[in-house]
Structure 1
Amino acid sequence: MPRGLLAWCRAGARPADTAVTRPNPEPGGAMAPPRTLLIVLAGGAGARLGSVADAAAASALRFAGSHRLIDFPLSHARNSGIADVWVLERHHAITAHLAGGRPWDLDRTRGGLVVRGLGEVADGAAAGSADALWAQVDAIGAYEPEVVLVAPADAIYRMDYSAVAAEHLRIGAAATVVTTRYDGDRSRHGVVVVREGRVTHYAHRPRVARTDVIATGVLAFEPRELLARLTSLHRERAGDGALGDIGERLMPGVADAGDAVELRHTGYWRDVGTVAEYWRAHMDLLSRPPFDLDDPAWPISTRQLRHAAARLTAGAEVDRALVSAGAVVEGTVRRSVLGPGVHVSPGAVVSDAVLLDDVRIGPGAQVHRAVVDEGARVRGRAEVGAAAPTGPAAEAGAGVEAGAAVGTGAAVGDGEIALVGARAVVHPRKRVPPGGRYGAR
């Protein structure tokens, strides 16, 4: 990469036209180019998740009991051979967990994991993802990468980032958008129109989606093009100083100019930005795991917990569950995920639920189809949610939203999954109905 990269962009140079060929839909295996920079966007407050992400970044949220969402992009970086990773974050909740990059072999004297703050825009509002990139233009220019990869920290998937970078370099476009087909609520995503491998239209969270193809949030940029476009947007938005999210102005502009191509991700991908999707991703792990988190060829690493082994007493009944270190089960647990330090008392029944760190379920309590946030207490004989319908009721679709599938792969809405907020106390004999929000914003 020639020196003077940032000066070149700020001089007003326009992105060059590029020839585009259709990308290979099944990339794999290549080592990352030597100057690949991965930027992980870990600053989202998780507003769509309610209290599950109130006090911390969504990227710090537990997943599969012992992991956190941030573990996925960092593990993909490590497994893809990418050595330079910048995590852009606003909340200090993940700082201790990152441990200087040690769990992912990113603790290095030069390069490795670098944590950078997101900052604020001129009016004091929280910066969008494009603002976050703009805040790094000097650092990106100084680093002089061949490819800039951008990845979110609020989705569950497995992806070879080195293959994305290699395909991006082979095609030579300004931007490569990793996409997937999605049959859920597309109004929460970037929806793209693709013709012969070229992204011809990019709509940010449209009310009506033109296609079922959405952006996964994983992007590859030619650095000069990225910095030039950010600089141009900054000049245009000088009045209010806000660039917003990447999908608001940056990517629509690249697509409209004909400078973006598609790389289709055909494997498992699930956004976990809502309570229902977060819950569903856990149920996927329990029914038909999309991939093995401990796969020696592609492990999802995390910072190790300091807990004793989980303990199941003589009266415990456990079926198809993930039980984390430090958990104690004395009651019944079915098709559920128990985080570190969870305690299920005698006579309690937990089914189709996700219990985060240090949750306490009292004697005789019932928790079904629910997410219970960290430190919450469900006292004796309280009821949260309702068990999934079985028999004729299930066949008729009782309890499932209109248009949803019924069965192991059922689609669910936020209105069906109960949520108990962090450190909330559900008092004895209290009932939280299906889809209810108790102690959660």
Structure 2
Amino acid sequence: MKARRGKVLGLVLAGGEGGRLGPLTDGRAKPVLPFGGVYRLIDFPLSNCHHSRVSDVWVIQQYEAHTLSEHLANGRPWDLDRTWGGMRVVHPTTGGEESGFFEGNADAIDRNREAIASFDPELVLVLSADAVYRLDYAEVLERHRERGAEATAVTTVKPAEEALRLGTVAVDSTGLVTAFEYKPEEPRSDIVTTEVFVYDAKVLLDTFAELEGEGEELSDFGHSLLPRLVERGNTWADDLGGYWRDVGTLESYWQAHMDLLEPEPQLRLDDPEWPILTRASQRPPARVDASARIEGSLISPGCSVRGRVARSVLGPGVVVEEGVEVVDSVVLGNSRISADIHRAIVDEGADVTQETTGAEEPAVVA
């Protein structure tokens, strides 16, 4: 008789400030930063959870938490508003031994050790809300079980200029992780972690307790937790095998949108077999006037376009005036464009009245 499998607990780490995104995260949690017109960054891991049948999901939040709570809507868009299980939103607490703000992703989990132990999962699936990608977590979980792994890191390949912002791993021919470096100044490997991890729950909690007892730093995974697990010799790499982009900088956020506009994009937002689910407001259809010219762009509901839009993404309710050019740009919702913009990111509700052109980095109008 086959043994019954235990529960999987999904933990979405959604508390970071996103400081490298400048004004785009002033006043909003990074996970609710708009993406692709009508979506938010956190929609990607939550949609993946829905399609992968991961139905117990805790969202750990901190920075500008109210902006995230409004979007989460008790988990309803992702079928996580359930009487039993479903979505649980976790906040920093006050008044106890574990009170105060989280100091990093590992610390956020460590401070919830008792709650996780009480939930008693077999596996813990840890996800960030900083990247755009599609992934069937069920397949990753299955391979983790087949290997009898203590930890699995989902990986992809990135050039050195991106790898230095991430964790890198060395793997042997079987996929076993033999070395790990956290944000190395000179990466020795182009295989990076995608901030998708599977942990044996007991091993994870025991390792946290062990490291805490030794006085080790428990802020981010890369400082102590992952190096310790790699040393134990049962951490495995699982290649994502598709599109993945961290959008933690202005350049990468802009580039991820340009990727959507390729003739054959690697990440399709219109895939009927794996739709990205979100909490969306009701908007009328976009209006494109006779004076408008649109080339290779995404236009969201509620937009009014009377000028030229080329290789750009417009969020809901954007107005582009007649005679104006919007080229190679990302315009977030409810903005009005009355002057030409090229290679720019326009924040929600902005009124652009002066010509704006980006250089090495895209220009930002907030």
TM-score computed with the length of structure 2 as normaliser: 0.93
Is the counterpart of residue 278 in structure 1 residue 236 in structure 2?
no
Check the 8 A contact 2:247/2:253 in 1, yes or no.
yes
2:316 maps to what in 1? 340
Q: Which residue does 2:330 correspond to in 1?
A: 354
Equivalent residues in 2 for 1:325-336, closer than 5 Å: 325-336=301-312
Quote the offset at 1:72 in angstroms.
Answer: 0.5
Given the alignment of the two structures, is residue 221 of structure 1 paired with residue 199 of structure 2, yes or no? Answer: yes
Q: Structure 1, residues 147-167: CA drift from partner, whole Å, max 9, x if none?
A: 110011111111010111111
Match of 1:186 in 2: 163
Gaps of 5+ in 2: none
Q: Specify the code of the residue in structure 1 equivalent to 2:36.
A: A
* Partner in structure 2 of residue 311 of structure 1: 287
| Cα-to-partner distance string for 1:31-72 (whole Å, 9 max, x where unaligned) | x95511111111111111111112121110101000001000
1:101 Cα deviation (Å)? 0.9
What is the letter of the counterpart of residue 262 of structure 1?
A
* Distance (whole Å) between structure 1 residues aligned to residue 352 and residue 147 of structure 2: 55
Match among 62, 67, 72 for residue 98 of structure 1: 72
**Contact (CA 8 Å) 2:258, 2:312: kept in 1 or not?**
yes
- Give the match's secondary structure for 2:349: coil
Q: Which amino acid aligns with 2:361?
A: E
- Assess if the C-alpha contact under 8 Å between 2:92 and 2:99 holds in 1: no
The one-letter code of the counterpart of 1:418 is: A
**Contact between 1:333 and 1:350, CA under 8 Å: does it hold in 2?**
yes
What SS does the aligned partner of 1:185 have? helix
Secondary structure class of the residue paired with 2:317: coil
Counterpart amino acid of residue 94 in structure 1: L
State the superposition RMSD in angstroms: 1.9
1:269 corresponds, among 215, 240, 244, to 244
1:355-388 Cα offsets, whole Å, 9 max, x none, are: 01211111xx110111111122211xx21115xx
Question: How do 1:32-71 and structure 2 match up within 5 A?
Answer: 35-71=7-43
Instruction: List gaps (5 residues or longer) in structure 1.
Output: 1-31, 387-398, 400-414, 422-441
Q: Report percent identity of matched pairs.
A: 45
Check if 1:320 corresponds to 2:265. Answer: no
The number of residues matched between the two structures is 356
Amino acid at match of 1:208: E
| Residue 79 of structure 2 corresponds to residue 114 of structure 1 | no
Give, in angstroms, the shift of residue 236 of structure 1: 2.8
SS of the aligned residue for 1:277 comes to: helix
Q: Which amino acid aligns with 2:14?
A: A
- In structure 2, do the counterparts of structure 1 residues 33 and 164 end up closer, same or farther at CA, with 3 Å as the change threshold? farther
Q: Give the superposition deviation at 1:347.
A: 1.1
1:254 aligned partner: 229
In structure 2, C-alpha distance between the alignment counterparts of 1:118 and 1:272, rounded to whole Å: 25
> What's 1:87 paired with?
59
Letter in structure 2 aligned against 1:58: K
Whole-angstrom distance in 2 between the partners of 1:349 and 1:200:
51
Instruction: Name the CA distance, whole Å, in 2 between partners of 1:418 and 1:126.
Output: 32
1:118–1:127 Cα contact (<8 Å) kept: no
State the secondary structure of the residue aligned to 2:251: helix
Change (3 A) 1:212 1:163: same
> Aligned partners of 2:107, 2:131: CA distance in 1, in Å?
21
Q: Are 2:250 and 2:361, in contact at CA under 8 Å, matched by a contact in 1?
A: no
1:153 equivalenced with 2:132 (yes/no): no
User: 1:286-435 residue pairs with structure 2 within 5 A?
Assistant: 286-287=261-262, 288-362=264-338, 365-379=339-353, 382-385=354-357, 415-421=360-366
- 3-state DSSP class of the match of 1:201? strand
Q: Deviations over 1:286-338 (max 9, x none)?
A: 11321332322211111122222211122111111111112111111111000
SS in 2 for 1:246: coil
Matched residue, 1:236:
214
